[in-house]
């Protein structure tokens, strides 16, 4: 990637930052647009937050909906995907004995969310184990569908998984859930700006995604998408001015003239709307910098680095390439003290990258974004060879 592109980000030069996946990173022009929104707010808070906010909040919804293959009426701006998914999980009417079907690749905070919901409602969580390595669509879909019973009320899936960086082929599972009257709830924390999304065509009942990760908008920008037919099921976690006692039937008006779905969720007391308002600037930045080409380059770099590490370790990848997140790859490494390796990568090589144990596998999760470079990948491989004693490891594994 060009030096020029790296300079457009605020990442410190003394850090080799290979963990875009956790919190994203915001390019300078997008960050400047964000600060401009904050300044504008401070110059006339009552006008900004009082009189104009409903209208101002609408613009990002219009821009984002066009990007995500939906209409502005089906999405609402929130601060993060955790919030979006909590709103859904805590709205659905679950009873003792109902089942929430999910996989063994989910993000730990959301596992807690569903555990909390299960405890409060008496519902039961059913976790299906996705056979690994993931090499065919049927292997995923057949496993998920085999987990559905006549008690399943919710299907909860990550679209791109956090610990394993897999791109789950979720389409047929969603369609099957719909056929059986099961609500599909999708954790899309990693997908906006990472893969092409067509939310209406995908057909999930509820889909929450972050704009602050791969779309590179400022921290605290995310959305919840809901099909019009199920928007009325949603209740806000915080009751504020947006709430009304009106009906929630399709076509009903909320307190500020949008739908109740939008008005109830968007207004949650005083908050900084600047990250959400900056979403159009993030989309413009990507257009101005030919981001599809940047992403293709990052994808090639990620896959090449994983292949080279695989040659060093002799360990097989977690999936066929088509099920790997384009700019993120979870690379298996030999059994090790994961925290010690993570710390040593940072202390000795200034490399920021997650190293953790997932089930029985030790994983180094590599993210590649436009500010990263081939020399950084080379350094990572050198560092892992040193710290994990990989010289000759592949040969030792075979013999």
Task: Count CB neighbours of 218 within 10 A.
Answer: 25
Q: What are phi and psi of 331, to 5 degrees?
A: -105, 120
Nearest distance in Å: CB 386, ligand PLP: 28
Do 267 and 258 touch, CB atoms closer than 8 A?
no
Contact residue for ligand PLP among 78, 87, 94, 110 (CB under 6 A):
110
Residues in Cβ contact with 32 at an 8 Å cutoff, skipping those fewer than 6 apart? none
Residue 225 in the binding site for ligand PLP (CB under 6 A)? no
Angle (nearest 5°) at CA 106 between 220 and 169:
100
Q: Cβ of residue 88: shortest distance to ligand PLP, in angstroms?
A: 13
Q: Is 115 in the site for ligand PLP (CB under 6 A)?
A: no
Site string for ligand PLP, 160-189 (x = CB under 6 A): --x------------------------x-x
Residue closer to ligand PLP, measured from CB, 106 or 205? 106
Residues 6+ apart with CB under 8 A from 370: 1, 5, 6, 8, 9, 289, 291, 294, 298
Shortest spacing between CB 340 and ligand PLP, in angstroms: 23
Closest CB to ligand PLP among residues 30, 390: 30
The CB-of-44 to ligand PLP minimum distance in angstroms stands at: 30
Told to check if 82 binds ligand PLP by CB under 6 A, we report: yes
- CA distances from residue 67 to 37, 113, 140, 284 in whole angstroms, order as listed: 22, 29, 27, 11
| Assigned token pair, 133 | 């390595």
**178 sits in which H/E element:** helix 171-179
Considering beta carbons, is residue 191 or 295 the nearer one to ligand PLP? Answer: 191
What whole-number distance in Å separates Cα of residue 286 and Cα of residue 230?
32
Instruction: Count CB atoms within 10 A of the CB of residue 106.
Output: 19
Q: How far is the CB of 83 from ligand PLP (least distance, A)?
A: 7
HSE toward the beta carbon, residue 278, CA cutoff 13 A:
31
49 vs 125 by CB, closer to ligand PLP: 125
3-class secondary structure, 332: strand
CB 246, min distance to ligand PLP, A:
29
CA–CA dist 167, 282 (Å, integer) = 23
**Candidate segments 66-74, 76-84, 357-365, 378-386, binder of ligand PLP by CB under 6 A:** 76-84
**Closer CB to ligand PLP, 220 or 242, in the complex:** 220
Provide the minimum distance between the beta carbon of 119 and ligand PLP in the complex, in angstroms, as a whole number: 20
One residue of 107, 114, 256, 358 binding ligand PLP per CB under 6 A: 107
Task: Give the separation between CA 282 and CA 40, rounded to whole angstroms.
Answer: 18
Q: Among residues 91, 99, 121, 158, which is the contact residue for ligand PLP, using CB under 6 A?
A: 158
22 binds ligand PLP (CB under 6 A): yes
- Is 234 among the residues that bind ligand PLP (CB under 6 A)? no
CB of 192 to ligand PLP, least distance (A): 11
Nearer to ligand PLP among residue 313 and residue 367 (C-beta) = 367
Residue 219 tokens, joined: 């921290």
Q: Is 130 in the site for ligand PLP (CB under 6 A)?
A: no
For 272, the token pair is 């900084």
Whether residue 314 contacts residue 393, with contact meaning beta carbons closer than 8 Å, is answered with yes
Where on the chain is the footprint of ligand PLP (CB under 6 A)?
A: 22, 80-82, 107, 109-110, 158, 162, 187, 189-190, 210
């Amino acid at each position: 990637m060009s030096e020029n592109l790296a300079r457009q980000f605020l990442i410190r030069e003394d850090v080799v930052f290979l963990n875009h996946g956790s919190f994203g990173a915001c390019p300078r022009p997008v960050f400047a647009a964000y600060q401009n929104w904050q300044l504008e707010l401070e110059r006339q808070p009552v006008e900004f937050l009082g009189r104009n906010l409903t209208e101002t909040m609408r613009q990002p919804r219009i821009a984002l909906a066009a990007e995500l293959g939906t209409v502005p009426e089906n999405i609402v701006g929130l601060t993060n995907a955790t919030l979006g998914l909590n709103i859904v999980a805590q709205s659905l009417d679950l009873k003792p004995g109902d089942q929430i079907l999910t996989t063994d690749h989910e993000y730990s905070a959301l596992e807690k969310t569903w555990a909390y919901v299960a405890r409060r409602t008496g519902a039961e969580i059913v976790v299906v184990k996705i056979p690994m390595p993931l090499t065919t669509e049927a292997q995923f879909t057949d496993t998920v569908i085999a987990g559905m019973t006549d008690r399943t009320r919710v299907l909860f899936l990550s679209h791109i998984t956090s610990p394993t960086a897999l791109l789950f082929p979720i389409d047929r599972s969603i369609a099957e859930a719909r056929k059986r009257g099961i609500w599909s709830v999708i954790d899309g924390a990693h997908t906006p700006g990472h893969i092409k999304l067509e939310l209406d065509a995908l057909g999930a009942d509820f889909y929450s995604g972050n704009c602050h990760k791969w779309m590179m908008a400022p921290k605290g920008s995310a959305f919840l998408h809901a099909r019009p037919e199920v928007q009325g099921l949603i209740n806000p976690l915080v009751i504020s001015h947006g709430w009304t006692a009106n009906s929630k039937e399709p076509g009903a008006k909320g307190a500020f003239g949008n739908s109740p779905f939008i008005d109830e969720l968007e207004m949650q007391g005083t908050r900084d709307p600047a990250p959400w308002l900056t979403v159009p600037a993030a989309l413009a930045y990507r257009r101005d910098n030919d981001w599809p080409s940047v992403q293709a380059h990052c994808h090639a770099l990620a896959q090449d680095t994983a292949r080279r590490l695989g040659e060093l370790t002799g360990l097989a990848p977690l999936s066929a390439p088509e099920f790997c997140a384009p700019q993120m790859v979870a690379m298996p490494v030999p059994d090790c003290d994961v925290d010690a390796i993570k710390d040593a990568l940072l202390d000795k090589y200034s490399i920021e990258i997650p190293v953790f144990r997932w089930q029985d596998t030790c994983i180094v999760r590599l993210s590649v974004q436009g500010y990263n470079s081939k020399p950084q990948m080379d350094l990572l491989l050198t560092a892992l060879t040193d710290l994990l004693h990989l010289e000759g490891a592949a040969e030792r594994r075979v013999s």
